[in-house]
Amino acid sequence: MTVLSLGKDLLGLEPLSPDQIRLILDTAEPFKEVSERPIKKVPALRGKTIVNLFFEASTRTRISFEFAEKRLSADTVNVAAQGSSVQKGENLVDTARNLEAMRIDMVVVRHPSSGAAKFLAERIRSNVVNGGDGMHEHPTQALLDMLTIRDRMGRLEGLKVCICGDVSHSRVARSNIWGLTKLGAEVAVCGPQTLIPGAVGDLGVTVFRRIEEAIEWADVLNVLRLQLERMKAGYIPSLREYYRVFGVTLERLEHAPRDILILHPGPMNRGVEIDSRVADGPHSVILDQVTNGVAVRMAVLYLLAGGRPELADAAKGTDRGGGA
């Protein structure tokens, strides 16, 4: 049997094989249970040092990674370097070299520039996890989306998933497109053409310009956050009109030919891209996504550290164990 691994880094889902993606999702399953225990800790990454290097504001992703690391018993440090490296006059190469000199084991990096995680990974020996790079990829978000869909629907293959909203500027959209298509889902995107990349069809996805058509088609809607800057930059005339024309509302969902699962990577703009009644309603799995985020990130960190997937169950079960 060949031993499947992720390699040194997790930079995106585009470079991964379907088997590698399934490996992460399957490894996440046993880790879910750790967070349900009174003592939420396993020793799998004991003695490992992880730096969460965030060049861009983040609450949920950073906290989720930090919980994942702590529940695996790693030692963690958070570095928040706000603003782009250029604005700060600091240099990503120097940051990388300094981290390397401190003999850390892993870096989780979020950065406003596409390609920054790869840039860092090519220059340090430590494992690098992409926590979101510019408009490129946000692999752990897509993985937790996929895990959540699989939990609810029992499968990914053959499902119709539509990503709604600002696809152009979204790393979540790109990672979802790669991950879902690799595991056999049909993927569409929906939004005003100003927020849909012209070449997106070449990635093998369908484009809907009207939300009603997307709802008619889909089993799952993954509703992206509409960055408020997009209005100022002229991509849409107003938030009010966006909600009226593209908003995922209860009225629109009532016309759906089937029950539709609703995901949102957060943070939500209630009353802009999504109706509160939908976000809080029975079809929403938005909070399940957050819960699954910790398990998926535990799986990624565990696998990158060299943990063997078949031991994940054992790793969580005992204080002596740990494939790491």
Partner 1 sequence: MRPILLKGGRVIDPARGLDLVADVLIVDGKIAGVGPGLGAPDGAETASVTGMVVAPGLIDVHVHLREPGREDAETVATGARAAAAGGFTAVCAMPNTDPVTDNQAAVGFIVKQAAAARAARVYPIGAISVGQRGEQLAEFGEMVGAGAVAVSDDGHPVVSSHLMRTALEYALSFGIPVAEHCEDPGLAGTGVMHAGIVSTRLGLRGIPAAAEEIMVARNVLLAELTGGHTHLCHISTRGSVDLIRWGKARGVNVTAETTPHHFSLTHEACEGYDTNAKMNPPLRTAADVEAVREGLRDGTLDMIATDHAPHHYEAKEREFDDAPFGVVGLETALGLALTELVDGGYLSLPQLIDRMSTMPARVFHLPGGTLQPGTVADLVVFDPASSWVVDPDRFLSKSRNTPFAGRTLRGKVVMTLVGGDRVHVAAT
Q: Which residues lie below 8 Å from residue 38, measured CB to CB, with a gap of 6+?
A: none
Could you tell me if 145 and 107 are in contact, meaning their C-beta atoms sit under 8 angstroms apart? no
Residues in 126-185 at the binding interface with partner 1, rule: CB under 8 A: 133-137, 171, 174
Residues in 205-234 at the binding interface with partner 1, rule: CB under 8 A: none
Q: Is 93 in the site for partner 1 (CB under 8 A)?
A: yes
Could you tell me if 218 and 162 are in contact, meaning their C-beta atoms sit under 8 angstroms apart? yes
Q: Is 85 in the site for partner 1 (CB under 8 A)?
A: yes
Closer by beta carbon to partner 1, 38 or else 89: 89
Q: Which residues pair with 220 in a beta bridge?
A: 161, 261
- Among 92, 124, 163, 263, contact with partner 1 (rule: CB under 8 A): 92
Residue type, 290: V
Closer by beta carbon to partner 1, 165 or else 322: 165
d(CA 311, CA 324): 10
Judged by CB under 8 A, the stretch of 41-49, 84-92, 149-157, 275-283 that binds partner 1 is: 84-92
- Among 36, 39, 59, 202, contact with partner 1 (rule: CB under 8 A): 202
Closer by beta carbon to partner 1, 197 or else 322: 197
Could you tell me if 27 and 303 are in contact, meaning their C-beta atoms sit under 8 angstroms apart? yes
In whole angstroms, how close is the CB of 228 to partner 1 at the nearest point? 18
Q: Which two tokens stand for residue 87?
A: 């604005």
Could you tell me if 176 and 142 are in contact, meaning their C-beta atoms sit under 8 angstroms apart? yes
- Among 38, 198, 257, 267, contact with partner 1 (rule: CB under 8 A): 198
- Among 203, 231, 239, 290, contact with partner 1 (rule: CB under 8 A): 203
Could you tell me if 48 and 324 are in contact, meaning their C-beta atoms sit under 8 angstroms apart? yes
In whole angstroms, how close is the CB of 113 to partner 1 at the nearest point? 4
Could you tell me if 68 and 298 are in contact, meaning their C-beta atoms sit under 8 angstroms apart? yes
Q: Is 110 in the site for partner 1 (CB under 8 A)?
A: no
d(CA 86, CA 69): 29
d(CA 222, CA 179): 13
Pairing type for strands 127-133 and 106-111 reads parallel
Question: Which DSSP category does 200 fall into?
Answer: G
Judged by CB under 8 A, the stretch of 41-49, 78-86, 99-107, 209-217 that binds partner 1 is: 78-86
Residue type, 98: N
Residue type, 313: D
Using CB under 8 A as the binding criterion, the count of chain residues that bind partner 1 stands at 28
Closer by beta carbon to partner 1, 170 or else 292: 170
Closer by beta carbon to partner 1, 14 or else 29: 14
Closer by beta carbon to partner 1, 177 or else 300: 177
Backbone dihedral angles phi then psi of residue 7, each to the nearest 5 degrees: 85, -160
In whole angstroms, how close is the CB of 200 to partner 1 at the nearest point? 6
- Among 165, 192, 197, 307, contact with partner 1 (rule: CB under 8 A): 197
The contact set with partner 1 (CB under 8 A) reads 14, 84-86, 91-93, 111-116, 118-119, 133-137, 171, 174, 197-200, 202-203
